Structures are given as structure tokens and as C-alpha cells.
Chains A and B, each alone.
Chain A
Amino acid sequence: MGKSPINQLAAVLLGTWLACASPQALAQVSPNDLQVAGRALGFLERPLSGDVTVGIVHDPRNPQSVREAENIERMLRGGLTVGSLTLRPSLLPVGEVGRSSVQLYLLASGVGAAGAAVREASAARRVPCVTTDLAQVRDGNCVMGVRSSPRVEILVNRATAVASQTAFSPVFRMMISEI
């Protein structure tokens, strides 16, 4: 879209409408989701460990995305320790993904097509990405999607994993869904 005020307004309205209409936008990331994500990361071939800065990627133009990101930041504030890994949050607008130095992307919902920036940054910087927005996994913008309710589900995009050199253990891969 162009940069005229009308187009910008249309983009905001469209983005807001998409954010509100998408089922994923209604989903709230829960502490259990974050626990599952943290545990799943323990099955990386080269696991993350110690203090890991998590970039909570969100679309600042989408209020719902911003709220979810802030909610996640509150849950991780003070650090979330899972095994030998402690996740420490950092809010990261999607436009700044390419310039950040975080060790993990946590992609909030409502980012939409802008999630492609995460895919590019993951591949360039070899930083894994996790999200509860499974559509982003199906679109190839994020390696791993997790959901803890009603039962734990994990979805991995194999092509995105290869591109970002994110490799999981064979045992883990046998137990999850891959596309």
C-alpha cells in the first residue's frame, strides 16, 4: 500500500479488522503456553540454556497484538525458568526484528503478513522462533507453534527450521506434528 494518509488509515483499519476477525487474535497466551514453549526448546539439538533474551515480536499498529505482547512481557518479567533455561523478555516491534540481537523470537499474534520479517531474521541470524499463532507456522514465518490447551500440541515447519538451522532431536520430532 502507498503512504497516503487514506491508505495508511485503510491499512490500520484493515489490520485491526483482521486482528479482530482472526481466531488466533482472540487467543490469549497463557503461562502454560510459555512453559510448553520453554520445555520444547529443551529438545533443540543445541539447546538454549542460561539467561536467554526473548524478543516478543508484535505489530505496534495492532492494539491486540500490543496487548498480547505486553501480557507476555508481564508473564516473563523477572524471568521464566524452565530447566536450565531462563527466558527474559524484551518487547520487539516487528519492524525492528532485523536489527535486534535477541536469542529467541516469541511471535505474538496479530502480526499478520509482517511475520515474514521474522522468517528472514531467523534465517539470517539463526535465531529460533516460537509462537502460539499457528497460522504463522503454516505460513512459514515461525519455526514452532505451541498450544497447551485443551491438550499440548506442537507444530514445526520443517522448511523454516532448515532455513534458520533450528534442529530438534529425533525423539522430539517423532512426537510432534510437522509440516
Chain B
Amino acid sequence: MKPTISRAANLVHGTGRRGLIACIAGLLAGTSMVGAQTVDHGALEALFGEPVTTSVTGSPLRASEVPATMEIITAEEIRRSGARDLPGLLEHVVGVDALQWGRDNTDLAIRGSNQALSPRLLVLVDGREVYAHFYGFTPWPAIPVELAAIRQIEVVKGPQTALFGFNAVSGAINIITYHPRTDDVDAVSISVGSQDLRQGSAVATFGLGEAADVRLSMGGRRNDDFSTAQDSTDAGSRRGNEMLNAAARAAISLGERVELTLAATHSQAEQPNVIPTYIVTHEDFHNSSAEAALTVDTGWGLVRGRLYHNWFEILSDTSGVLGELLRYDNDVTVGQIETLFKAGSDHTLRIAGEFRHNTIDTTPVGGAQVFYDVASLSGMWHWTVTDSVSWSNAVRIDRRDLGRTGLEPLRYAYRNVDWNQRLTETSFNSGLVWATDNAGTWRLTLGRGVQLPNLSALGATLIDFPDGIGGSPPFVVGGTPYIDPMTVLHAELGWTRDLPGVGGRLSIAAFTSRWADVFMGVGEPPPGGTPNMGDSRTSGLELSLKGASERPGGSRWDWGLSYVPLQVDDEFLPGYVPSSSLVAYEQTTARHTVDVRLGWSRGPWELDGFLKYKSRFRGFDGRPGRTADLLDIPAYFKLDGRVAYRFSDMLVFAVSGQNLLHAEQHQTSASAVERGVVASLDFAF
């Protein structure tokens, strides 16, 4: 099935490192060109006429059959969105909430309870976590993936820790890139725009001999942040935003049934960032990863082993407020092994084991390390009960061993031995899908997810106040090892029905989640208390209608309408108040969100608009002297759009805009967002 590949010959014939590439090409030329049958998203999508995903059960399923509420954003939808980054794309997804603090600083959450450095969403690229454990958030600007390299983005709603492990408690976003062996993707994009934006991106795919294929991608951006400031203290954080990333991915056939995948990435980004105290700092991210995975098609099933390492380094300049430069060096090593096979005619099984080592140096007071090891065992069983009914069950047991070594400051309340703790947690997902002939598809899902406290809360942030504050005696602040994990119990009923008469699909989901042992945002617990402040409950609906229609004359309309009402009720313990915990989901979650999408294309022209309405909500005020006040954020409308002219299949010129309705608009408790306009030239060859 290997397609004709246009080779970037200049990458093979050259000097130095290129000579090594030529040598490798020569060695591989003699090996078999038939690789293992991994999940070929492209071929399966072409076969079934709809996207295929493994992000719900770990086994391949058609999007219409998954036992979860899920959105799949296709490459075409990415292109038509006009978004220039992942948050700008994802905020249009039903149920995804965005808090845009700055030009390149956005926090996303699924179904409410969003916050600065939103921790409840797990983001992965081709199954590798890009979650920053030291603060428990997703560093979106530092995710090393170009939009042109993405095949599809899978947004799964509801707890998914039974498949992905800790922290996928409100959902998971798995970014699936094109496979270098089966997808020959080559593209270059150049963009300029407001806020002095200059951005470039390139993706190239080529073969090395008959058995190896490589995809390289690189992107860079330089722009100013919004000029709308809250106060003078955050002005020092505005030094110009920069981003640079590079990624390489190789697929190597080692025989008819064996494929080796190697990947390496590096990304760096520098920009202002709103942190959990809602102050603005200047952050400098440097992330790298290396990965190797071996997939064997045994004939009766797939066996895959995977090993990857993430290096996260972040410099957080809080000198404007805390007077400290915090340096987080966080290393994560993950080893996974899994087998996926079909037993009999009706049962698909997945058994997996995982080991994870997560370690971080303390900062700004150094000399110590906080770490934890997690050993996991999981299983999944998918049963095709009848032609119309299927039932999926997944369970995962994680055992975490926490530890600390090194310096024990004199005034620190804890000793290293306090970190010698072991906990065992169980996650599960159960989903029943009933596809009726004429009455749509019903889904009933239940799940339990687990979120670990982040490493900063567990002691990675260690600050010494030798002179005290405001007359207090000297003290050391450094988190605590005595934090219970947060858990969520989730239930959901969903219904989807195709509407052939209007070329559309109607989806309705009703859900409820109960969160236990919710974490404080920051700060010290009340006397006698812990950083677990009680429970919270989220209930809501997702109503979505979308479709497409072709008109005489060659016009095509794509449209969508969604409404998400949410109700959040916090049941926190006495003594935990928003001003000290910086958590108040009941007040900081908008109750109503409406999204409208309209797209039109005819001939070379494409026009797309995305209108969002978000009802009023509240947000924490990070200004000095007013910390933890809750500000009212009025309801607002937001419009993004794109107009494009396709010169040919290879060349497209587009102008896209974000926040088009107003030059400035308050969408959070931080600086007002500005209107942004970008012109892009996209070349695919």
C-alpha cells in the first residue's frame, strides 16, 4: 500500500549528517517494504467513510461507534478554521471552554471548571503526553506539532484515565499526525498579521530506501502580545512572544510484521503566562522528547512496546511579584507494553502495562528532588453483543510511589520521609452503545477518573522567606506531600441521529460528574485542613446540530449549531473560601455557551465564520492588592472568520481573523483580548 513518494533528494545527497542518512538508506534498501499492519487511519477512514479512532478504548473504532461523546476534527476542518494555533482551533469544539489570557496564552477545559493552568485535560500527540506535571497543565505554545502535519484531533469528553492514566479527568485530546509511511505530506506556510506577527511552518515527508519513511516538521513564530495591560506589574512580562519547534518521526519496516517508530521533538516558547495566582509572569519553555515504539503484528493481534522520555524545562519569571526566578526541570520517562487482539467473533481485548518515572528539582531553593513512580495495569474488553449493541469496559489500576531526596530546609514543615507514600487507585470506563435502525444511536457511559496533585503542590516549588513577610517570622513554603488525589465519577447518556433530509446530524448528551477532594488552586489550607477542599458537581447538556449540503452551481454549505448549558455546584468544606483557595468553579463557569458555524465554498473561494456566545461568569483578579477578588465578566459574543482563495490544489491564500467584533474585549479577568488578523500563504506539494 506504499504510495508514490516524492523524495526530497536534497535531504539524502549531501554532506556530513546527510552522508549518514545515505548510509542508513543503503542499509534499509535491502529490507522488506511490507510493514506491520498498525492502525492505518487513512486507509480505514477511506474504507469506512468516517474517521477511525483508538482514543476511547485503545482499539480501533469507527467514530460513530465509540462509547463516549467525542469530536473528531479532520484535517480539512483544521484548514478551514483559520486558526493559527491549537487553542484557536479547539475552542470551536462543542463543550470546550477557552480562557484567552493573552495573544498566545489560552487555557482550555472540557465542560466547565476552567482556570489558569487548567489541569483536568490530558493532551497527547500520537499517544505521547505533552502534559506538564510540575504545574499540571498543557503548555500549548510548546507542543511540537504543526497544524499541517495533523491528520485529525480527537477530543474525548468525560474521564479517560482508564485508558490514558492519571489526569485525563475531564477528557483527553489526542492529536494524531500523519503517518510517514502512508501519508506523503509536504507543505509550507507563511503568515503575517497584527500584533506584528510573523510565522512560518514546514512539513516534509520522504523515504529512506524501501523500508523507512520520515516526516520532518518545523515551525516558528514571533509576535507581540496584546497591548491591553491590567497594570504596570505585568508590563515586564511583555517582551515579545516567540516560538520555535521541530519534530522528526520515522517509520521503519523491520519485516513483514514488524514496524519500528522513532520520534524526536524539541520546542521552545517565550511569552507572558497567567499562573494559578492569576498574576502574569514571563515564561520560557524548553521541551524535548525522544521516543521509540515497536509494533508487531502477530497474526492474532498486535503487540506494541513503547518507551519515551519528556524533558520539560520552564523558567518562570515572577520577579515582578514574587521576586523569584523559578526554574522547573521535570523529566518523565514512560514505558508501555500492550497487546490488542480479537478473541472469537465478538470480543476485542486489550491488556497493557505501564511504568512511569516523574522527577523534578525543587526551585528556587534547589538541592532536592521530588519524584514519583507509577506502575499500571489495565485491561479493556469490547463485546459486540449483537449487530446493533456493543459494550466496552476498561479498568486500570495505578500504584504511585511518592518520594523526595536532598536538602531539607531548616524551617520546612516536612522531612523527606513524609514523601514516602504509596497510593493505589482504580479507574474505569463502561460504555453501552445501541445503534437502532431508525431511531439513532444511544450511548450510556459510566466512568471514574483520577487526578494526581501536581509536582509543585507536592513540593517542587520551595521558597524561603528568611526575613518573613509583614513582620512574620522566617518561613519556608513548599507544598505538602499530604494531598489526596482528586477523583471524578461520571455518568452520561448520549443520542445521535443522522438527518439525511438536511444532510446533518443531531447529537444530544446529558451528563453529570461528581468531583471529590478538589484541589486548592494555590495558597495554604485553613488550620487543620489539607489542600483538598471538598467536592464539586457538574451537570449539563450538549446539544449539537451540524451538516453540509451541496447546492446547484457547485456551492457547498457547512453549518453547525451547538448549545451547552452547564450547572456547577461547589460543596467545599468550611474554611475554604475563594479568596484563599482561588477556586470557585460555581462562579467561574459560564452557564451557557452557544456556537454557530457557517462555511461556504464555491470554486476557488472559501468563507468560514465561527460565532460564539458565552454567558456572564466571574474570574479571579490577579492585580496586586486585589488578589483573589472575583471580577464579573459580562456575557460576550466572539467572532472568528476566514476567507480564502485557492489558486490551485497546491496554493491557497487566506485571511483569517480572531475576535473580529471588537478591537478590544474582556473575555477573562486578565487583559482584554485584541482583534487579530492574519494573512497566510499555504503551499502543499
Contact = CB atoms under 8 A, between A and B. Distances in A.
B49 interface: yes
A148 B300 CA distance: 27
A175 B61 contact: yes
A170 B345 contact: no
B297 interface: yes
A171 B60 contact: yes
B62 A175 contact: yes
A123 B40 CA distance: 29
Contacts of B299: 45, 167, 170
A158 B1 contact: no
A152 B49 contact: yes
A178 B52 contact: no
A177 B1 contact: no
A38 to B, nearest CB: 9
Given A36-B47, A43-B37, A152-B48, A174 B1 contact: no
Chain B, interface size: which category? 20 to 34
Contact of A42 (B43, B300, B301, B340): B43
B49 A151 contact: yes
A42 B182 CA distance: 13
Interface in A138-179: 148, 151-152, 158, 167, 169-175, 177-179
B302 interface: yes
Contacts of B342: 170, 173-174, 178
A174 B47 contact: no
Contact of A170 (B46, B341, B382, B384): B341
A171 B39 contact: yes
Contacts of B300: 170
B279 to A, nearest CB: 49
Contacts of B44: 171, 175
Interface string A26-37: 000000000010
Nearest to A82: B46
Nearest to B346: A178
Contacts of A158: 345
Contacts of A152: 47-49
Contacts of A175: 44, 48, 52, 60-62
A83 interface: yes
A175 B299 CA distance: 15
A84, A152, A174 — which one has the most chain B CB atoms within 10 A of its CB? A174
Given A171-B302, A173-B342, A84 B1 contact: yes
Contacts of A170: 37, 297-302, 340-342
B43 A174 contact: no
A40 interface: yes
B59 interface: yes
A171 B345 contact: no
Given A83-B1, A152-B48, A179 B61 contact: no
B326 to A, nearest CB: 45
B348 A169 contact: no
A39, A40, A84, A169 — which one has the most chain B CB atoms within 10 A of its CB? A169
A71 to B, nearest CB: 22
A43 B39 CA distance: 11
Interface in B271-306: 297-302
Nearest to B2: A84
A167 B62 CA distance: 21
Interface string B324-365: 000000000000000011100110100000000000000000
A60 interface: no
A156 to B, nearest CB: 9
Nearest to A155: B387
B41 to A, nearest CB: 10
A16 B610 CA distance: 58
Contacts of B579: none
B549 interface: no
A174 B348 contact: yes
B102 to A, nearest CB: 43
A148 B38 CA distance: 24
B43 A39 contact: yes
A63 interface: no
A171 to B, nearest CB: 6
A59 to B, nearest CB: 28
A47 interface: yes
A167 B301 CA distance: 12
A169 B37 contact: yes
A73 to B, nearest CB: 24
Contacts of B302: 170-171
A174 B60 contact: yes
Interface string B1-28: 1000000000000000000000000000
A177 B341 contact: no
Contacts of B48: 152, 175
B127 to A, nearest CB: 15
Nearest to B36: A169
Interface string B421-436: 0000000000000000
Interface string B365-386: 0000000000000000010100
Given A84-B1, A169-B37, A171-B39, A179 B345 contact: yes
A39 B47 contact: yes
A148 B50 CA distance: 12
B37 A171 contact: yes
Contacts of A171: 37-40, 44, 60, 302
A101 B348 CA distance: 37
Nearest to A32: B49
A177 B340 contact: no
Contact of B47 (A40, A45, A173): A40
A124 B43 CA distance: 31
A158, A171, A178, A179 — which one has the most chain B CB atoms within 10 A of its CB? A171
Contacts of A169: 37, 297
Contacts of A148: 49
Contacts of A151: 49, 64
Nearest to A47: B1
Nearest to B47: A39
B352 to A, nearest CB: 15
Nearest to B62: A175
B345 A42 contact: no
A178 B37 contact: no
Contacts of A40: 47
A168 B665 CA distance: 56
A151 B37 CA distance: 24
A47, A158, A173, A179 — which one has the most chain B CB atoms within 10 A of its CB? A173
Interface in B483-542: none
A173 B345 CA distance: 9
A84 B43 CA distance: 12
Contacts of B60: 171, 174-175
A177 B47 CA distance: 14
Interface in A6-40: 36, 39-40
Contacts of B301: 170
A39 B47 CA distance: 6
Counting from the closest, the 3 A-B pairs by CB-CB distance are A169-B37, A178-B345, A39-B47
21 contacts: A39-B46, A39-B47, A40-B47, A42-B43, A43-B47, A45-B37, A83-B43, A148-B49, A167-B299, A170-B302, A170-B341, A171-B60, A172-B37, A174-B340, A174-B342, A174-B348, A175-B60, A177-B345, A177-B384, A178-B346, A179-B345
Given A39-B47, A170-B341, A173-B342, 4 more contacts: A43-B37, A170-B302, A174-B60, A174-B340
